Amino acid sequence: MDLRRLGRTDIRVSSICLGTMTFGEQNTEAEGHTQLDLAADRGVNFLDAAELYPVPPKPDTQGRTEEIVGSWLKARGNRDKMIVATKVVGRTAMTWFRDDGSPGRLDRRQIEEAVEKSLRRLGTDYIDLYQLHWPDREVASFGSNAARFVPLAPAPDETSIEETLAVLADLVTAGKIRHIGLSNETAWGTMRFVSAAERGVGPRVVSIQNAYNLVNRSFEVGLAEVAMREQVGLLAYSPLAQGYLTGKYENGALPAGSRKQLFNRLQRYEKPGAAAAFTTYIKIARDFGLDPALFANAYVTSRPFVTSNIIGATSIAQLEVALASAEVVVTAEMEAAVDAAHQLIGNPCT
């Protein structure tokens, strides 16, 4: 497993990161532990969670994912060998994250409460990478590169980036978090965080976790240059477009136990033009003799601005394919075929 530098830190993370958002909903604690064992055995040292998880977000399951990751770390006694990332919710109307029922904001009181709760659930005294799950400000789309501009007025109670960074700086000083990252952020937002840190306001962000896959390459438009020049590497989520790039939903199929069948929350990947795009990329993979899921994951991991590809699975068979993708070499011929398709298809799933 390839190890890559996390931002400008001395931390090296595996090119595949195990996403855990199914733990506590689609996967039991035992199943989660089995996935974690296999991933660690294959060289994965990077785990991603969030206070919101599992998905879909619900008050009665919130926090279970971190608890399952924490019970595994305790059982295996390997906390010092793993890079653990988690997230605090951004601006949201959901009120079950805070003890007083406040809607989510990235202010001092809420971040301090969120960190303490995540530390307790994870059973650790420090978090390697603490990420802002999405911005406090209003943004045009969750993900976070909108296909078209949407003018939005700032919320009257918007928490400034400087205020958020100030509390994160105190948490770094206290040793509760080591480094900070962004998620579902824009190029403007990322550079504002970088600029603030360069002015001495808080720690420097080391990563950005955004959606990136064959049907959504919008990260490349402005953020890829930021990621490479500023060493704020992409932690790519949804590399399989929530399962659509595997081919399992081809011709209207609806596998039992799939996320679409259980929750019907895949609207980001059901936009006009999406179905034809999936058919095209699945055919490209098969033309090169590769399983579509293997191909889609390998493409994401191979991008020069990607620090780690966050894979997710609900079965060991799915996890095996995702882990095997780290060994696939994306050739110039594969690149040309993908780019030719992208020239016609664009990004239907932003």
Per-residue pLDDT tens digits for 75-124: 999 999 999 999 999 999 999 999 999 999 999 999 999 999 999 999 99
- Domain holding 140: CATH number? 3.20.20.100
In a domain, 236, yes or no: yes
- Lowest model confidence (mean pLDDT) among 29-43, 161-175, 198-212, 254-268: 254-268
Higher-confidence residue of 11 and 148: namely: 11
For residue 139, what pLDDT is reported?
A: 86
Separation between Cα atoms, residue 321 and residue 199, nearest integer Å = 44
Is residue 126 flagged as an active site residue?
A: no
Q: Give 33-37 contacts, CB < 8 A, sequence gap 24+.
A: 33/68, 33/71, 33/72, 33/75, 34/316, 35/313, 35/316, 35/319, 36/69, 36/72, 36/76, 37/72, 37/76
In a domain, 341, yes or no: no
If one counts the domains in the chain, the total is 1
Mean pLDDT of 122-144: 91
Mean pLDDT of 16-36: 98
In a domain, 265, yes or no: no
Which amino acid, residue 133?
Answer: H
In a domain, 91, yes or no: yes
- Catalogue the E-assigned strands of 290-330: 306-311
Mean pLDDT of the chain: 96
* Tokens 């003018």 belong to residue: 151
Structure tokens at 43: 């060289």
For residue 163, what pLDDT is reported?
A: 97
**pTM for the structure as a whole:** 0.97
Mean pLDDT of 39-44: 98
Which amino acid, residue 1?
Answer: M
Confirm if 191 and 224 have CB atoms less than 8 A apart: no
Nearest CA to 245 out of 111, 332, 341, 174 is that of 341
pLDDT exceeds 90 at position 150: no
In a domain, 291, yes or no: no
For residue 138, what pLDDT is reported?
A: 87
In a domain, 169, yes or no: yes
* Tokens 């990332």 belong to residue: 85
pLDDT above 90 covers a percentage of the chain that reads 90
Mean pLDDT of 237-248: 97
Catalytic residue (choose from 53, 244, 269, 281): 53
Separation between Cα atoms, residue 179 and residue 206, nearest integer Å = 7
pLDDT exceeds 80 at position 128: yes
pLDDT exceeds 80 at position 143: no
Separation between Cα atoms, residue 280 and residue 339, nearest integer Å = 12
* Domain containing residue 87: 3-243+300-331
